[in-house]
Amino acid sequence: MEAKIITPTVTIFDDHGNIDLEGNKLLIKHLIDNGVNGAVPLGSSGEFTKLSLDEKKKLIKLYVDESQGKLELIPGTSSLNVEECIELSNYAISLGVKGVLILPPFYYGISQEEAFHYYDVLAQKIDGNIYIYNFSARTGFDMSAETTFNLAKKHKNIKGMKDSTANLTHTKEVILKVKEIRDDFEVYSGFDDHFVPNIIAGGSGCIAAMSNFEPKLWSNWVKAINNGNFEEVKKIGNMIDKLMPLYNVEKNFSHIFKKFLIDGGLNISEYTIFPFEELSDKDYEFAKNLRNKVMTRR
């Protein structure tokens, strides 16, 4: 199984906060032209909490229509309203997406048993592949390797996981545990700098947000590791490590990443959801200078 980079895309809005269809088309083309393997619209980078069910459906359909099979699509369909999650998931799957990415319930604390119950029910009611989205920093819950194993054992359509955790040991445990029974189970890391250890452990790659504005760098990194070009893997990995502080400039890094896309020539708005609409010149200059310093050494 070759390594992949899947882009958790930012959502492009107009200046009034409406979905900008043309702007999102530009982003989709940008990703295809620069060789990423797939996209996750409506993930954390996509500011999905702002959007209504109808708006989410509109955006997923746009991705299906515009990518024309050139991107593997795994849209986020998370919702605290489980009926809405199921409806959106089945809608997306009816359009032909690869699968859907779903967070466990958040706000209320849950146990491993309750998480199993949640995905167990979803697997029976969703007519396609489900990818578990483990993001404990946002949900307050960390899906264990044992719970993941039990779900993967019971349901063939529990297809994989995005493991957004700073704990690399957790990702490795999930990979090694589930691979005991499922060679087809895909584990993606959610942190850009975890790509190489993910692959070494037997994972599938990354769902990594820097590939929004540096898709070519990322597709070259994937190509290097698939071709066994160790020197290039090491070189790009060092660059990614140096770019990681970009995630800490703003809690919602999507604003900075949209401005990077604008700097790169995309005719889009930088509109970002409340209360993250303000970005200081000082913070953006720091982010831009950091990126420029790293990339000019390429």
Using CA atoms, how far residue 201 sits from 176, 220, 261, 272, in Å, is 7, 21, 33, 36
- Picking from 13, 22, 66, 26, the residue whose alpha carbon sits closest to that of residue 265 is 26
Is the separation of the CB atoms in 291 and 243 below 8 Å? yes
- Is residue 133 part of the annotated active site? The answer reads yes
Which position among 4, 159, 162, 259 bears the catalytic label?
A: 162
Report phi then psi at 48, rounded to 5. Answer: -65, -20
Handedness of CA 121, 203, 1, 243 (dihedral sign): positive
- Is residue 162 part of the annotated active site? The answer reads yes
Rounded Cα distance between 235 and 73, Å, is 29
Which position among 133, 188, 271, 284 bears the catalytic label?
A: 133
- Picking from 124, 128, 135, the residue whose alpha carbon sits closest to that of residue 161 is 135
Rounded Cα distance between 65 and 96, Å, is 10
Instruction: Please list the active-site residues.
Output: 133, 162
